[in-house]
Chain A
């Protein structure tokens, strides 16, 4: 049994200070001036981290790496061309992967058993074998199909299957298998009531998927997709195996010319880091866009946050002057 709570004489209205005259509280709110909690742990860990970073930095500057060469090659023509090709093959493969993944995911959740099975095999095969192997197989497709022949157009496979095409198919189709699972999870995260409401309005299954389910699934789909994209950007270095001249391949070429192996590896790394950074920022804005409607107000962009901070600093100075 809980004892009845004494709500004071006013019957429901909160008891004022008069009801508790034992507590000496002055009328009106008193601004709180408390001593903040000290975070000693943070200070200690920061010192340790700084020390470790310093030691690693020291090791790097002492290493037999000619950093000037690393930086010189950053804007080398072949390296720039490679970086551009890396972006190109990554974006195009991702688009292909998104298209295939969406198709496979929709087939997977459809009621048609043929579609379901086809989708299942696609995902099973292309997720189950290494992408490196898939790339090499695409590149050597002439071993299986000597000729590319679609009736109105025919060409020997060796000339048809360019490094670019092999890279695109290898990465894109593999990516599609992963995207299919991500998109399926997104579709299934949408409340069934949404589909019902849409059907009850007379919307078809296709329209319901396109207008109601997929836009809401986006919120679940985008974060892992950003992850996949950044993963793909780095995985694309594997397509040097099919002679496609992207960043890693071109870095290898330059490194053979100049014998500056380590230097060029760092050049390429800097480029990969720069690219992943740019795309991570893009991902942030995309997530923000699809949060629309799910939150009462959108989170501030980093830019807005900086502005708010600056304004709040200025504002707090006003009363002091």
Chain B
């Protein structure tokens, strides 16, 4: 099973903001087609780690690879060279990200949001971008909303547009940072359904979530983080039903 190259490999990843060390050496690997769940209390560094994966944050120490490529750097001998902005942008094309607060472009319609990156980054023609965007919006169940502006959509609809927008770049890996935390309870299901569909289609996904039901049902691996370190990891079923560490137990007793 472990024969394939990991999609994400983290080795002793450290990250500080000023004097505050937020990630204190994260080691983990995410295999292709895996749904990898990241859970932990607020402030434990989950978002920060996710943002390091697509180089929205620079790591201070350690190594991070996505699909065999070092994130943000090039290694020659034992020297590291920073990548240029354009090279970082190139790496990010393959990594889709979905944010807690959607971050849709409010001045563009739903389909405009989805067409934007393919047209601007991959220089796709409008016709091609439009066709794919329509297909993707249909896939997330928003075929009738393609011309709506984000402000005219519910939270759940906005988040589904955001997923379609990320998928439009045909990424190898999708990062989800608490995609349902900003949603009213009755809207959570529609977003999780879309994510479940993605998982079934074999997308590699790293999901920061407090939806333990989703983690148990869809997740292939789960990591519990606290205070910038990985406390416990394993199959979601095992970790969630039979946690080994006291901190994991304490956390799960609060969220389950």
Chain A positions within 8 Å of B, measured between CB atoms, are 191, 193-194, 196-205, 207, 211-212, 215-216, 292-296
Task: Please state if A201 and B151 are interface contacts (CB–CB under 8 Å).
Answer: no
Q: Evaluate contact between A194 and B103: CB separation under 8 angstroms.
A: yes
Q: Could you show 28 A-B contacts with beta carbons less than 8 Å apart? A: A191-B103, A193-B99, A193-B103, A194-B103, A196-B99, A196-B103, A197-B97, A197-B99, A197-B103, A199-B92, A200-B92, A200-B95, A200-B96, A200-B166, A201-B116, A201-B166, A201-B169, A202-B89, A202-B90, A202-B169, A203-B117, A204-B86, A211-B116, A215-B107, A216-B105, A293-B106, A294-B106, A295-B151
Interface contact B106-A216, CB-CB below 8 Å: yes
Chain B interface size, as a band, is: 20 to 34
Residue in contact with A293 in the complex, picked from B54, B120, B151, CB distance below 8 Å: B151
Complex interface: chain A residues within 8 A of B121 (CB): 201-204, 207
- Say yes or no: is B28 at the interface (Cβ < 8 Å to chain A): no
> What's the least CB distance linking A189 to chain B, in Å?
13
Tell me, in angstroms, the Cα distance from A212 to B54 when the chains sit together. 19
How would you classify the secondary structure of chain A's contact residues: helix, strand, loop or mixed? helix
Interfacial residues, chain B to chain A (CB-CB below 8 A): 54, 56, 85-86, 89-90, 92-93, 95-97, 99, 101, 103-108, 116-117, 120-121, 149-152, 162, 165-166, 169
CB distance from B36 to the nearest CB of A (A): 18
Complex Cα spacing A216 to B54, Å: 25
The distance in angstroms between the C-alpha atoms of A296 and B152, with both chains bound, is 6
Task: Write the nearest CB–CB distance from A109 to chain B, whole angstroms.
Answer: 15
The CA of A198 and the CA of B103, in the complex, are separated in Å by 9
Q: Please tell me which one of the listed residues A194, A199, A211, A296 contacts residue B89 in the complex, with CB atoms under 8 A apart.
A: A199
Set A191, A194, A212, A294: member contacting B151, Cβ < 8 A? A294
Task: Add 14 more A-B contacts to A193-B103, A203-B89, A295-B151 (CB < 8 A).
Answer: A196-B56, A196-B103, A197-B99, A197-B103, A197-B162, A199-B89, A200-B97, A200-B166, A201-B121, A202-B92, A204-B86, A207-B120, A211-B116, A293-B150
